[in-house]
Amino acid sequence: MGLRAVLTATAVMLATPAVAHPHLFIDTGIEVLFNPDGTAGAVRITWTYDEMYSLLILEDRGLDDDLDGVLTQAEIDTLNGFDMAWDPGYPGDTYALLGETPLNLGQPQDWTVDFREGKIISTHLRRLAQPTAVAGVPLIVQSYDPSFYTAYRIVGTPVVSGRSDCTAQTFEPDLAAADAYLQQALQELNATGDVEGEFPAVGAAYADEVRVTCGAPS
């Protein structure tokens, strides 16, 4: 089962009422990696799942039967990659842009998993399809689920590796504007329709983003 299928199944269990989005909450860490030639090469993403979702995953896999919140290393190892079997075309809820130009990200690789303080923490690396020069125009990494089943929040200080002349800053969305956009989109739906099944793709309006700016390449 792919990540989206797992998230959707969990959302169905947690959704009360149907329009109460989001259902899942993931704290996100971002690291942008530069190549030796100064071009941007990859993004490493960290996902820290909320305690409820983490508990559901443990129960589904028969882990932590004694409910002490402690897993052995062998049990943790069985979780590795649980969220990496992506369905074809799934964008991974991470988007990269150079200014306003979308950049293609590859499939996840080099994933890891851990379990701390009742939460599952996974990481994965996604390489840019083409090495990208960053100078003048910022490299932007956005984290969001278009369907808004999952709320991603970028936490901590974003990291830049491989260049010392770049800075990274996190920007939060205008929540009042996002809420207004959501309400307008919901009003446009047929009142007798399947709001959950037709829920508008408003996730981008709630997206946190990291902007990386750099000096001229050396």
Domain boundaries, the chain: 3-214
Question: Which pLDDT value is given to residue 5?
Answer: 45
Question: Which pLDDT value is given to residue 12?
Answer: 41
Count Cα atoms within 13 angstroms, Cβ side, for 159.
Answer: 13
pLDDT tens track of the chain, all 218 residues? 344 444 444 444 443 334 456 889 999 999 999 999 999 999 999 999 999 999 999 999 999 877 778 899 999 999 999 999 999 889 999 999 999 999 999 999 999 999 999 999 999 999 999 999 999 899 999 999 988 889 999 999 999 999 999 999 999 876 777 677 677 776 766 554 555 556 656 678 888 999 999 986 55
Q: Which residues are bridge partners to 94 per DSSP?
A: 143
Distance between terminal CA atoms of the chain?
A: 45
Region 3-214: CATH code: 2.70.170
